[in-house]
Chain A
């Protein structure tokens, strides 16, 4: 074989021989030599040493040889930039060649040579080729602009190539239009905010016309581009849909799916009562079904997409259940996906059929598939209530097969069914118990143990069953250990007389012999509960459990919307947003569906999941603040956004900040505190509950400021501390995304006390997935000032390589108390008298068991200084001062009556809330 010979020869690496052949006079010999070079390049051999010799062959009129040399050039030009310049002349010459194929070849190859020095020389030939008379050259040049942009974006902009590219959208040749659209879309992706692809009704019209005429690939480029357009109104939306629907009959699945994407997106804008809306829905089903007769790889992509479409618009495919039935010869990846969709489409109408199928699948060979089928039966039971009974009996049949993994999987799902329909199917427990011995997977063991514990009163030998598990307690996985512990405690609460020994055994195993903190903690909690208050224990442990939700596996709506905008692409295959797997700036833009239901940015409801801090605050509020107090207001997300705007547009504001003198500041501070029951501040201090140090500044524990789900996987938790007179923001940055994060930076919005970072955020190493890093950011108090609501609110922007994220947090006012806050006694006295009455407010702190000295000591740790103390009628009066970083003094009088746990504080200016909450903390500590 000649070519086998080619492949083997180069393996010996006879560079020298090749060199001689390349310089041979005979054309044929030259060509063979270049072929050998390319062959060795393919298998990964380094033949860059031959660069000059190969480039010498470029000057030829043999097109095949030229192409080979170009191929070589594209591969090695980067490693030999100086030599690559030798090729420039030929390129420039070729771009003038009378043969359009050669002109195109030159412009195509030029763009693939990523050498900076060369790119400059490319501009003139490229400009000519963009206006070439031959469409073949123009369509190649259009793509070349994208190539050049990838090498040197600035150059492309400076040379005005983008405008020329835009002009090509109006070209007479459909393929030129398609390639121009593709190139522009790609360039626009790396400039998210540019208005590069200025889509308006006129350009859309041009694109739709080209759509009918260009190649299948061009149609895909155009449809993918159309999907980014947002129609002005429902009429425009409908007219585009009408012109796109014929594409649903195209033989190329990609054209079909891209058309589906456009239709799914624009459908959002159509009113649902419109006749056309119904017609469109009907038109979508057949092509989707047809995709399932394509090659298996395409079926897989189609099924992943159908999974999304079914979640967004179940009505489209609700009658098409049968086509998702698994075929015996389907590849496993197709089978698993079909199963998923079957469950999604299951309804009362078709459940009988589905169950019969699932039962059939549960007897197949592939273990994963069988497991998923069994699990699917359980999910059907939970989804379609009417079918639950049939599902349970099907599962029991499957348990009878005694196939180990089927039994285990069945038990896991039966547990879920019990949780959905309590007290309905307990009759099957006996059958389950028979299979106890065959369970060897933790999940199944845990499920079985849960069932035994939950229904202990109906299982006569529950204690024996659980005892049997107890023997090998330490060999079990944590999941099983925890479940066993709980189950035995439940058993004890239900049958206290016979099981005392058992419960003691498990408690000691969990608390004394285990080194798993979770297990130990749970053990101790149970132990204490049981020993102090068995009634309470019963209420806690045997409390009614919330029913499990119907659809636990639905994709989160905002993600689903984004994925719908990415139908047909990798994102829809992975069911992940592009930012999760694409590096750099590309694909970071979040796409949204148009229409009223999902409008705009402010979509995420604020504080869906209360952060830990809020919860803590709420808990502590219960007994410390007057009953009228409600929980802290959730951070207003709209405010956050506005703040973010300010942050970016800052600069000028520092001037305003200067003008905001101490005086005006004082007034504003006061006014904000006179707001009745201003929850924000006091709650803030509550956060520290239980952790504050007896001496020294109390430091609240870290709370989650930025949850990972709002920030593409970046989680930030943090707190503020004051150490040796320096305020620090201590943060833990955790990467919960799949990609490495780098380039962190931080910025604050203007805030009440002029807090600003004193230095850059020090995160030097890239943050890899699942890694956390601690960062301490020293703060200065000389930044621009703006009154915030609540006063101690701080809006922060954190940037990394992925995006910019905004969050707001609140800092403890005590952090701002300066070390030099001790006032001269005389000054204090004079000031105290001078301050007008309405600057004063009074407050009582209840249930504080410190004596006055202890309190005074404690407060000093936080830079609250006691200036004087006097005793009047058994009451200790403490006079205190503190100074805020912005120079405002706060004076306070603290009355402590021995034996009375209630303190009275009179403060001048604003400190009321600070005091109150400070004491609540100390209170907690005792």
Chain B
């Protein structure tokens, strides 16, 4: 199991050091600094073995988190734990920066004592932790006996992510479907690979211990219903359903129920959380098509023309559109003409960046550039990195639709209808590239 956990600043100075196991000596702290943080070359692996000690590290801005062990630990678990540790710290004091870590070092030690015991991760849900690890240490003294046992039963219980007795005057639910659409397209417009990775992010402000049920246009569910319901109905809804390749859920979701009935039911944590992640590869709506045209005119000039076409309902608007066209290293000058938005050649980034604030569906726009090159002796040809694109669209490129989100709380007197629900779809570009 994890033998120790260290946090360093960018210079390699130790901010936090907590050793859990006897086999980890003080020199382990230095070994990591010398061999990884101060290493001359780029770090080639997130796991390093130095003198028979294994180090796992992740970086958040310029802070290094390193877990150390001498045993054959579950490596996936260690990384998951490090991310979780970052989440917990962020939930307590915001951004993980040197200043914040230093200011909260007592709190961090307290957290580390609680969520890692002898190197075994324990309950690390911030909802539960915040009930008894507070920055005012004295507070826990005032818990009554009932409160104390409530805390402990929550920390160890089946619903470790939610405490009882939450009350809201207004029961509200926010549901965001956030998708990132990834594309790799050949210069000829052939889709080499495309997938959507999506997340359903919720914010729930609900009283009591509500039981929720979430439904979407999952092909498997719709087809099943289509069979039992009228054929006409099935065919109609079948068109709108999507095939989900795979999905993973927050630990509040009852997995065995999903496995057997494919229904998503859960008691939600309070506040922000990510309910599910999913991935689709079939019938993706590609919001933009990029058509590149690169012509080499002699050895010192390049002509580039890029056309973007928006491919969605004309009533919708895409925002924050940015096209990045890489240029050769020996570029000496660039002339740009674009119909819409602003374009700029950024020499430091070796790219032309073309920004368009808004663009409606079923439109097209184009940019042309003349790139002058310095003559070089460099034998190596220009690698022609792909043209990449960023954007945001108000729909889900996977075609996912939320069908329902039901809330039941039998003990309190509010019903599903009393809950105010907000649903929003945002599609963003992931790695959206077209080779040229």
Contact = CB atoms under 8 A, between A and B. Distances in A.
B248 A251 contact: yes
B90 interface: no
Contact of B137 (A7, A65, A215, A257): A65
Contacts of B81: 217
A235 interface: no
A328 B106 contact: no
B15 interface: yes
A835 B122 CA distance: 82
A490 to B, nearest CB: 33
Given A71-B113, A250-B255, A325 B184 contact: yes
Interface in B82-128: 82-83, 99, 102-103, 105-106, 109-110, 113, 117-118, 120-125
B118 A333 contact: no
A99 B1 CA distance: 29
A220 B248 contact: no
Interface in A34-71: 35, 38-39, 42-44, 61-65, 67-68, 70-71
Given A68-B106, A220-B74, A63 B245 contact: no
A129 to B, nearest CB: 13
Given A35-B106, A99-B148, A215-B251, A333 B46 contact: yes
Given A43-B13, A290-B277, A573-B47, A135 B156 contact: yes
A137 to B, nearest CB: 8
Given A328-B385, A402-B380, A739-B52, A573 B15 contact: no
A821 interface: no
Contacts of A332: 42, 44
A264 interface: no
A251 B274 contact: yes
B259 A249 contact: yes
Interface in B313-334: none
Contact of A64 (B70, B110, B195, B251): B110
A747 interface: no
A220 B255 CA distance: 15
Contact of B251 (A42, A134, A252): A252
A402 B192 CA distance: 28
B258 interface: yes
B117 A251 contact: no
Interface stretch (B138-146, B214-222, B233-241, B366-374): B138-146
A212 B257 CA distance: 10
A125 to B, nearest CB: 17
A327 B435 CA distance: 12
B103 A587 contact: no
B118 A329 contact: no
B72 interface: yes
Contacts of A98: 145
A296 interface: yes
B141 A63 contact: yes
Given A365-B383, A578-B72, A301 B117 contact: no
B74 A146 contact: no
Interface string B394-435: 000000000000000000000000000000000000010101
Interface stretch (A172-180, A342-350, A607-615): A172-180
B45 interface: yes
B49 interface: yes
B103 A1 contact: yes
Nearest to B145: A98
Contact of B76 (A39, A70, A568): A568
A64, A139, A214, A573 — most chain B CB neighbours (10 Å): A64
B246 interface: yes
B132 interface: yes
A245 B74 CA distance: 19
A247 interface: yes
B336 to A, nearest CB: 23
Interface string B276-288: 1101000000000
B160 A140 contact: no
A295 B86 CA distance: 13
Given A38-B109, A43-B13, A217 B49 contact: no
Nearest to B248: A251
B188 to A, nearest CB: 12
A325 B192 contact: yes
Interface in B55-83: 56-58, 69-77, 79-83
B207 interface: no
Contacts of A147: 118
B151 interface: yes
Contact of A569 (B29, B75, B123, B388): B75
A44 B27 CA distance: 10
A139 B156 contact: yes
Given A139-B156, A215-B251, A246-B258, A570 B73 contact: yes
A571 interface: yes
Contact of B248 (A101, A287, A333): A287
Nearest to B72: A578
A796 B132 CA distance: 61
Given A150-B22, A257-B76, A571-B72, A249 B1 contact: no
B57, B76, B250, B435 — most chain A CB neighbours (10 Å): B76
Interface residues of B, number: 103
Interface in B171-185: 184
Nearest to B275: A251
Contact of A220 (B56, B77, B109, B143): B77
A215 B160 contact: yes
B256 interface: yes
Interface in A295-311: 295-298, 300-302
B49 A581 contact: yes
A3 B102 contact: yes
A137 B152 CA distance: 8
Contact of B52 (A111, A179, A581): A581
B70 A582 contact: yes
Contact of A1 (B26, B52, B72, B102): B102
Given A251-B248, A583-B52, A38 B77 contact: no
A39 B105 contact: yes
Interface string A215-251: 1110011001000000000000000000101110111
Nearest to B13: A43
A57 B413 CA distance: 50
Interface string B177-209: 000000010000000110101000000000000
B76 A246 contact: no
B137 A62 contact: yes
A173 B156 CA distance: 7
Nearest to B383: A363
Contacts of A175: 122-123, 155-157, 160
B121 to A, nearest CB: 4
A36 B197 CA distance: 47
Contacts of A293: 197, 277, 279
A186 interface: yes
B251 A250 contact: yes
12 contacts: A2-B103, A68-B106, A214-B158, A251-B248, A287-B248, A290-B247, A327-B184, A328-B388, A332-B42, A333-B46, A353-B192, A363-B384
Interface of B: 1, 13-17, 19-23, 26, 29, 42, 44-47, 49, 52, 54, 56-58, 69-77, 79-83, 99, 102-103, 105-106, 109-110, 113, 117-118, 120-125, 132, 137-138, 140-141, 143, 145, 148-149, 151-153, 155-158, 160, 184, 192-193, 195, 197, 245-251, 254-256, 258-259, 274, 276-277, 279, 379-381, 383-386, 388, 431, 433, 435
Interface of A: 1-4, 6-7, 35, 38-39, 42-44, 61-65, 67-68, 70-71, 75, 98-101, 104, 108, 111-112, 114, 134-137, 139-140, 143-144, 146-147, 150, 173-176, 179, 182, 186, 212-217, 220-221, 224, 243, 245-247, 249-254, 256-258, 286-287, 289-290, 293, 295-298, 300-302, 322-323, 325, 327-329, 332-333, 353, 360, 363-365, 401-403, 566, 568-574, 578, 581-583, 586-587, 739
